[in-house]
Amino acid sequence: MDEQMSPKEQPHILDQHQNDKLTSAEQGKLWATYVGNTMSVCVLSYMINHVEDQEIKHVLQSTLHLSEQFLQTIKEIFARENYPIPTGFTKEDVDIAAPRLFEDDFYLHYLKYVAKAGISLYGIAIPLVTRADIRQFFTQCIDQTVDLINQATTVMLKKGLLIKPPYIPYPETVDFIEKHSYHNGFFGRVRPLQALEITHLYDNLENNATSKAVLIGFSQVATSNQAKAYFRRGIEIATSHYDTFRSIMQDEGLTSPSIIDQLVTTSTTAPFSDRLMLFHKLDMYAVRIRAYGNAISMCARHDVVTKYARFLVEVGNYVEDGSNILIDNGWLEQPPQAIDRKALASNKH
């Protein structure tokens, strides 16, 4: 990863002159990528300052290099467009000298957690952006983020930190569904979970386990009572969702990823600003909405779909409440938006 070429060494991306202005999709995805990676630089800089395991440190350094590379490329794109650079997060939002909040092993779980969010952001961008230079940038983003998650997974497996998705038997024949009871979940015969349903339950178990650990850490170090209360509510949501998904898996005799609360230290000194921590959870829970929506699209059992639907509403309300806290404090940066035609029409000259 460290041997990747820097943006200045990749003229084929930035030297392609484009007459087209950035579309709404390009503006939105570049903006979100920039702000998200400024946050990542703050978090990773703090983690690297405390990590002791050299293998884990290497993965963290590769990730930091990647975020810095993404930021530099976007800055150059915006400069060519005379586009304002978002504020994002800065050194004022992190104290890298603050005491350790997480153990080394946690960092690998965290990297996998945030890499999933990156892959989702970049993957959705690729079919929506049209300019060749922007398409190439996001293609590189997703390729390099996939490399990152592979690095993290390899080290996790080597260290015995990863519980694999459960095994199920190979089918003996190719078959077709014949009965509408396939959708049952509350009444009648309830079929076993199928592979894709298990996949998304496992993914959401893993996400909630890591999210809970992050929230525990943030709740310990947040400086405002409002932020502390918000993070404690997030812990309750993550715990409830984790327990529900785990119960579904247990009923089928299937293994689940373990909670990792023990990887949070007892520190109460904040390494990050309340603004960064609130935005972090707002951002990750917004990604959770997409993960639950994806799970619903792959699930045919009514009982499981109903739980996902209920959790979607709960997470959506949590995200809205978090954004209101950021707005009330003047902390939520405005994304690019369309022209307010009604406001223009009502403006008196």
Q: What is the DSSP string of 191-249?
A: PPPPHHHHHHHHHHHHHHHHHHHHHHHHHHH-SSHHHHHHHHHHHHHHHHHHHHHHHHH
Residues 223 and 114 in one domain: no
Residues 297 and 191 in one domain: yes
- Residue 225 in domain: yes
- Select from 97, 124, 158 the last residue of a domain: 158
Residue 57, class by beta-carbon neighbours within 10 Å (0-12 exposed, 13-18 middle, 19+ buried)? middle
- Residue 12 in domain: no
- Residue 341 in domain: no
- Residue 9 in domain: no
- Residue 334 in domain: no
pLDDT score at 205: 97
pLDDT score at 337: 87
Residues 127 and 250 in one domain: no
pLDDT score at 3: 45
Residues 142 and 192 in one domain: no
pTM: 0.89
- Select from 158, 192, 212 the last residue of a domain: 158
CATH number for 63 = 1.20.1260.10
Residues 188 and 316 in one domain: yes
Residues 240 and 273 in one domain: yes
Cα(196)–Cα(22) distance, integer angstroms? 37
Cα(341)–Cα(37) distance, integer angstroms? 32
pLDDT score at 7: 46
- Residue 174 in domain: no
Residues 129 and 54 in one domain: yes
CA distances, 204 to each of 30, 200, 210, 259, 294 (Å): 27, 6, 10, 12, 11
Q: What is the pLDDT along the chain (349 residues), one digit of tens a residue?
A: 444 455 444 445 444 545 689 999 999 999 999 999 999 999 999 999 999 999 999 999 999 999 999 999 999 999 999 999 999 999 999 999 999 999 999 999 999 999 999 999 999 999 999 999 999 999 999 999 999 999 999 999 999 999 999 999 998 888 877 765 556 655 557 789 999 999 999 999 999 999 999 999 999 999 999 999 999 999 999 999 999 999 999 999 999 999 999 999 999 999 999 999 999 999 999 889 999 999 999 998 999 999 999 999 999 999 999 999 999 999 999 989 888 787 878 875 5
Bridge partners of 102, per DSSP, are: 264
Residues 323 and 186 in one domain: yes
pLDDT score at 346: 82
Query: 52 Cβ partners below 8 Å, 6+ apart?
Result: 104
Residues 70 and 125 in one domain: yes
Print the domain residue range for 112: 22-158
Question: 226 with 326: CB under 8 angstroms?
Answer: no
Domains: count for the chain: 2
pLDDT score at 185: 55
Specify the DSSP element, H or E, that contains 293: helix 274-297
- Residue 269 in domain: yes
- Residue 167 in domain: no
Residues 202 and 318 in one domain: yes
Residues 152 and 212 in one domain: no
Residues 152 and 218 in one domain: no
